[in-house]
Amino acid sequence: MDFPEDAIAATQVHLSSRTWSPTPKIASKEEVEINISSVEDDVPPPSFPEGGFWAWSTVVGAFIVQYCSFGYINAFGVYQDHYVRVYLTNSSPSAIGWIGGIQVFFNFGLGVIAGRLFDRGYFRYLMISSIFLHALALFMLSLSRENHYYQIFLTNGGLTYVPSLGIVSHYFRRRRPLALGIVSSGSALGAILHPIMLNHLFASRIGFHNGVRISASLNVALLLLAFAMMRPRLPPRPTQDFPIGQWFIEPAYGFSLLACVCTFLGLFFPVFYLQLAAVSHGVDKHIAFYALSILNAASVVGRMVPNALSHKIGLANLLTFFTFTTGVVTLCMAAVHDLAGTIVFAICWGFSSGAVISLVPATIGLLSKDASEVGARLGIFFGVGSILGLFATPIAGALLTKEYKWLNASLFAGLSMIVSAAFYAVTRNILAKRKGSQLI
């Protein structure tokens, strides 16, 4: 059978154009790594609901947890004032400050353990344990006796602060700053309502002991409600091994830890001492009782507005700015001598400090490489800071002395916040260079 000449010619051209090799070509190690990385780049990131019933139910539950935990600690200024003037008159402000320092330490310091357990899927066990500890501590406090300092040395620190922030990351990525801002505002609302309630209870015929019992009962009921509203979404990873040692030497995360240490040294001084400062300067105590509530009302706005603007201005940019602003306003506390000054200071400091508190978790999430490590990074972050928080309030009390030298304590707290802002600025610059953008 004869084939057409044009078909034979076409076949010859096709065969001659192919390059034949007696052995297959083996890719080099570098080519394999490039191909693997290109495949990994094509893998889509895990999806997040960004909403839905359980997402928003979890946000509300975490909001309530913040209200009952950090919100109650932010009301320690009421206890500080009551202890100094009425209940622990035999103890110095510095000694009483250790009570507040212990509360801060346990609330944040246990985050190192709680964050790790949260990532391993023990969220519900953490909640149950924290509710029990919260109830035990406050009801035992209600059994204490006047001027028995060791009996007052009880705390309501729990295990839920870090998990209540981390669980929001299970549902949100794009809207995470807004969701965390809503959750964080729970502690601000608690710091508004708890002081009003405690001041009225302590000053009435109900008294200190029954007042503590009432507040404890309310908090436990709310925590049980929050427990029913929150549900983890991502599966636990029992065999997770995080390179925690490497995190400490990451430049951005390392400088953020230094910033956290300085923040804990200065952040809680106005919260714990503003009411005492107002009363000591002659402000009517019935009006001074509302100073903390005004401060924390402004803090609610401060926790919401900056987070809503973070996608336009940048999380790290806002955190650096408001940390510096908080330091400057704290320095001005020494010049507050009357009711008008107290109110203005409470509004300005509340707004700026609220922004700092709410922007931190979202910024740490920005430093995390995966959603599964957010809890561990937050736990380490707050755990390291809480060690200094343990000493911050006693140091402020020692600088204050029984003569109420407000300038010394204000300088210490304000300068600590300004140094913290400098460290956050370094963190922000590292992230900007890494991402090639100033919107960080």
Is 330 a member of any domain?
A: yes
Residue with tokens 């343990």: 390
Predicted pLDDT of residue 46? 56
Domain membership of residue 21 (yes or no) is: no
Residue 2 lies in a domain: no
**Count of domains forming the chain:** 1
Secondary structure (3-state) at 157: coil
8 Å CB contact between 320 and 252: no
Residue 19 lies inside a defined structural domain of this protein: no
Name the residue type at position 6: D
Do 288 and 279 form a contact (C-beta atoms < 8 A)? yes
Q: Residue 148, CB half-sphere, CA atoms under 13 Å: how many?
A: 9
- What is the end-to-end Cα distance of the chain in Å, rounded? 75
Q: What is the pLDDT of residue 45?
A: 54
The CA-based angle 209-213-217, given to 5 degrees, is 170
CA distances from 51 to 2, 184, 371 (A): 72, 18, 17
- Asked if residue 283 belongs to a domain, the reply is yes
The pLDDT score that the predictor gives to residue 330 is: 96
- Whether 199 is in a domain gets the answer yes
Query: Among residues 349, 208, 200, 199, which one has the least CA distance to residue 274?
Result: 349
**Residue 237 pLDDT:** 63
pLDDT reported for residue 390: 79
In sequence order, the 6+-apart residues with CB closer than 8 A to the CB of 404 are 277, 280
Q: Phi-psi region for residue 195, left (φ > 0), alpha (ψ -120 to 50) or beta?
A: alpha
Residue 40 belongs to a domain: no
Using alpha carbons, select from 305, 330, 297 the residue that is nearest to residue 396. Answer: 330
Sign, Cα dihedral of 241, 242, 243, 244: negative
- SS3 state of residue 259: helix
Asked if residues 253 and 377 have their Cβ atoms less than 8 Å apart, the reply is yes
154 phi and psi, to 5 degrees?
-115, 155
**pLDDT of res. 419:** 96
Residue range(s) defining the domain that contains residue 286: 49-231+245-434
Residue carrying structure tokens 């507050």 = 336
Residues whose CB falls within 8 Å of the CB of residue 272, separated by 6 or more in sequence, listed in order: 76, 77, 80, 97, 100, 393, 396
pLDDT in the model for residue 331? 95
The confidence score (pLDDT) of residue 263 equals 93
C-alpha distances in Å from residue 157, one per residue of 13, 101, 104, 218, 251 = 82, 11, 7, 16, 31
Say if 153 falls within a structural domain.
yes
CATH number of the domain that residue 318 is part of: 1.20.1250.20
The Cβ of residue 374 has, within 10 Å, a number of other Cβ atoms equal to 28
pTM: 0.71
Which 3 state secondary structure label does DSSP give 224?
Answer: helix
Mean pLDDT of each 10-residue bin along the chain, 440 residues long: 48 45 46 41 60 90 91 84 87 83 79 76 87 88 86 66 81 81 83 88 90 93 93 72 80 92 90 87 83 86 82 89 96 91 93 89 80 76 81 85 86 95 94 80
The Cβ of residue 238 has, within 10 Å, a number of other Cβ atoms equal to 9
Gap between the Cα atoms of 159 and 126, Å rounded: 6
Residue 30 pLDDT:
43
Per DSSP, the three-state class of 226 is helix
Sorted by sequence, the CB contacts under 8 Å of residue 179 that are 6+ apart come out as: 59, 168, 171, 172
